[in-house]
Structure 1
Amino acid sequence: MANASAHIEIPASADKVWQLIGGFDALPDWLPYIPQSELSEGGRVRTLANPNGEAIVERLLSFDEEGRSYSYAILSAPFPVTGYRSTLRVLEAGNHARVEWSGQFTPAGVSDDEAVRLFRGIYQDGLKALAASFSPVK
């Protein structure tokens, strides 16, 4: 099993950041790679569309409002991995928020390094986009 992770510091309170990203259906609100999300199964499954129109189907595994985190699994996606599990977490870090995104998966048809680079890139790009939501307008 391979692991990837990324984190970023955001100049806002953890509660304010969680307010934006804490909904399981909130990815289109902050992640440009995901322009569309639709919930099913009582909000426990989300079907995402990427810019190419490919579907990514994910199941919510755990949700902790007080701890500002949720974990999910990919049920189907155009990624070269199986057994994908991920956690998105927002922590209070002094006068700012620390957002952590991590995942575990088994590469399928690619090396561990290739799969780790893919997801680390997705996490880093996503967190940069999230931070831009909190940047002052220039």
Structure 2
Amino acid sequence: MATAETKIELAADADQVWALIGGFGSLPDWLPYIPTSELAEGGRLRSLATPDGQRIVERLLSFDHAARSYSYAILEAPFPVTDYRSTLRVKASGDGRGSVVEWSGEFTPNGVSDADASALFREIYEDGLKALQVGLAKK
């Protein structure tokens, strides 16, 4: 089992950040490489499209609004991994004036090394959180 994780500190309040990213169907609102998200099964299944038309299907595993966290699994994707589980979490920063967003995952590499799979998802998480930071700065 391989893992990847990253976090970013933001000047925005944790509740404000969660309001933007906390919806399971909200990826297109802050993640530029996911232009569409369609929910099914009462909001527990999301079908995502990448800009080049690839499809990603994910299932919501747990959702905790009070803790500002959700976990999901990838069911179908063009990634070289299986058994993918990930968590996205927003916490108030230590000084209470900002927030920290954490994105982590664990998965089994398929046809690539643990290091390569971890690097792939770490880059996806880092790029996504940087895009979130830029998007919040524009608001």
TM (norm. structure 2) is 0.97
Alignment of 1:116-131 (within 5 A): 116-131=118-133
User: Which secondary structure state, in structure 2, belongs to the residue aligned with residue 134 of structure 1?
Assistant: helix
- Could you say what secondary structure the match of 2:136 adopts? coil
Letter in 2 for 1:35: P
- Alignment partners' CA distance in 2, 1:10 and 1:133: 11
Counterpart of 1:71 in structure 2 is 71
| Equivalent-residue separation in structure 2 for 1:97 and 1:54 (angstroms) | 32
Equivalent residue runs for 1:1-138 within 5 Å: 1-93=1-93, 94-136=96-138
* Structure 1 Cα separation of the partners of residues 118 and 48 of structure 2: 21
SS in 2 for 1:126: helix
User: 1:133 deviation in Å?
Assistant: 1.4
The amino acid that maps onto 1:77 is A
SS in 2 for 1:16: helix
How far is the alpha carbon of 1:134 from its aligned partner? 1.6
- C-alpha separation between the residues in 2 aligned to 1:11 and 1:98? 9
Q: Give the superposed CA RMSD.
A: 0.9
Distance (Å, rounded) in 1 between the aligned partners of 2:38 and 2:71: 17
Q: Distance in 2 between matches of 1:24 and 1:136?
A: 22
Q: CA deviation at 1:36?
A: 0.3
SS of structure 2 residue aligned to 1:135: helix
Deviation at 1:136, TM superposition (A): 5.0
Cα distance, 1:21 vs structure 2: 0.1
The alpha-carbon deviation at position 65 of structure 1 amounts to 0.3
SS at match of 1:125: helix
Q: Structure 1: how far apart are the matches of 2:33 and 2:138? A: 22
Unaligned runs of 5+ in 1: none
